[in-house]
Structure 1
Amino acid sequence: MNREEKRRMKKTTVSLGTAFGSLMTVLNYTVLILLCLSIILPTLNVLALSLNVGTDAAKGGIYFWPRDFTLDNFKEVFRQSNIVNGFLISVFRTVLGTFLSVFLTAMAAYALKTRTMPGQKQLTFFIFFTMLFSGGLIPYYIVLKELHLTNSIWVYVLPALYSVWNMMIMKSFFEQTPEGLEEAARIDGCSDFGIFFRIILPTSKPVIAAISLFNAVGHWNDWFTGSFYVRDPNMKPLSTVLQEMLTKQQALTDTLMSATGSMQMQMLDKIQVTGTSLKMATIMIVITPIVLVYPFLQKYFAKGVMIGSMKE
């Protein structure tokens, strides 16, 4: 094989490599665009239905723009007498619950990652073992009742202080901190609390942001606790209030659909909000706070999703 043939082969190889790289770039962008559309288009559909008259939306054909614009769906949501109180309770439990849960879970994770702690392996296994089995709903309710947490605002905060899954994620992240930093701090006379507050926490912003987001979303979206463990309507969070409102509205819609002839037409003339349109308005109200907060945590969250994926 002479030089000319080698040069042609090299050019061919480079051309094929460039073409393959361009093809993969186009493929990657195509997949990303399709993924973005799969998220954006359903959201636009929900927004359009929430801004459309319910009885008109029931006819179908509404996709990304309201056909009969109205704000009655949102007015109906905010017409609830305890909506503001539920919002304040949700904010209280989300802020306080997230702060305490992340702080205490981080302290427990730091203790578990310390190899010099007596019984460290046995205690880690004991805590991990609790992830494999659940006591069940009835025993859990009995425990809450015996601790006088039912029908109390603290039922939203105290039972959710610790998450074994989050603890293991934090432990894995803390183990990536060079031991030399801790040893140098101890030589300088720094205590375990000083190391935790001055070294561990400042260098663990990605995992703290990611776990904080998980906790905040969980607290904000949780309607089950308020529905099953709280009887006082003035102590129910926003998600529970909206869920109960949707249940009542859906029952009204079912009654409407079961009516016949002239009775159904008379009821249709009096109602503009249906269970579906009200549900869409509720979805927009619930997701808005999370959507507004997420951009501020995005850079930390992007790092946090890689936690534990690589060890040196």
Structure 2
Amino acid sequence: MKQITEKKKKPEGADLVFNILNYSFFIVFTLICIYPFYYLIINTLSANDLSANGMINFLPKKIHFNNYINVIKIRGLGTALWVSVARTVIGTACTVLASAFLGFMFTQQKMWGRKFWYRFIIVTMYFNAGLIPMFLTMKNLHLTNTFWVYIIPVIVQPFNIILVKTYVESIPSSLQEAAEIDGAGIITVFRKIILPTTTPILATIAIFAAVAQWNSFQDTLIYITEQKLYSLQYLLYCYINQANSLAALIKNSVGSGSNVMALATQQTPTSVRMTVTVIVVLPILFIYPMFQRYFVKGIMIGSVKG
């Protein structure tokens, strides 16, 4: 039997023009998206006097790493980094597990009060008590000035539960029925069937939760007064508002008089803002590509019911 191989036709005419315009548009769009991060990095690596005067736009000049060395030495930055990492890891894990379990349970017809509890959770997407009632609630629960104020209030997320519920409904019910015939209970079904088969949507939720936890600073501003519990993003918020005094503090801490650093490496408000911004943004930039392959697949499969 002859195998017929068809050569891929080269685009011609209108198709060729479309491809050129299409690729050109997305290349330009990609460069526009990348440039702000590139701009931040080259300004933190360039001479601070040139950066402060807006003279660094495309290529770094007089490269040095003193900005990162000096900012890392700031008191409290290491503790704040550990707080942000801990809240991101623990908060993301709790949110993913809670969303997975609740999304699964809301697909079980035998769950007591299933419709009521599902609607009860969904209604919280549209109604919010406000800042003052929320603060009073956290205070009455003795969560203010504790690490758990970062975790407990965001464990149950209605939107994430909807995603998981819709995804689980697309899984053949025969899988659960076969497991139940073999004597598996709800927890066993959830652990051995639901969790492995919902990896794409759970990875998508993990991205949402991790980015939200890592970038959050308002909860620190509202609920935390002890410096040992400050998050890295809250310190960034403070540094941006106090960049002038912080630059002077760093300059004084690294030397004075004959030991004053050269003008090119002296800290400026601009260098402080940009350096701390890069330190905060880079972890998410490295983590996101690890989950990107699950992102589109999780959203698309979770949004279509067969």
TM-score normalized by the length of structure 2: 0.85
Secondary structure at 1:117's aligned position in 2? coil
Q: Where do 4+ consecutive residues of structure 1 move more than 4 Å?
A: 250-253, 268-271
Q: 1:136 corresponds to which residue?
A: 130
Match of 2:77 among 49, 72, 83: 83
Q: 2:50 corresponds to which residue?
A: 56
Superposition deviation, residue 49 in structure 1 = 1.4
User: Take 2:264 and 2:29, find their aligned partners in 1: how far apart are those partners?
Assistant: 41
Contact 2:103 2:161 in 1 (8 A): yes
* Greater mean alpha carbon deviation, residues 22-31 or residues 84-93: 22-31
Q: 1:248 corresponds to which residue?
A: 242
Larger radius of gyration between Structure 1 and Structure 2: 1
2:120 equivalent to 1:126:
yes
- CA deviations over 1:177-214 (Å, ceiling 9, x no partner): 11111111111211111111111110111111111111
Gaps of 5+ in 1: 1-14, 254-267
Q: 2:32 corresponds to which residue?
A: 38
CA-based RMSD of the aligned residues comes to 2.4
Gaps of 5+ in 2: 1-8, 248-261
* Greater mean alpha carbon deviation, residues 207-216 or residues 58-67: 58-67
Q: 1:12 corresponds to which residue?
A: none
- CA deviations over 1:144-178 (Å, ceiling 9, x no partner): 00011111111111111111111111111111111
- CA deviations over 1:203-243 (Å, ceiling 9, x no partner): 11111111111111111111111222111111111111222
Q: What does residue range 1-312 of structure 1 map to in structure 2 within 5 Å?
A: 19-250=13-244, 272-312=266-306
- CA deviations over 1:12-53 (Å, ceiling 9, x no partner): xxx9x9534333333332232122111122211111112223
User: Take 1:296 and 1:270, find their aligned partners in 2: how far apart are those partners?
Assistant: 37
Amino acid at match of 1:291: L
Identity %: 34
TM-score normalized by the length of structure 1: 0.84
Count residues with an aligned counterpart. 284
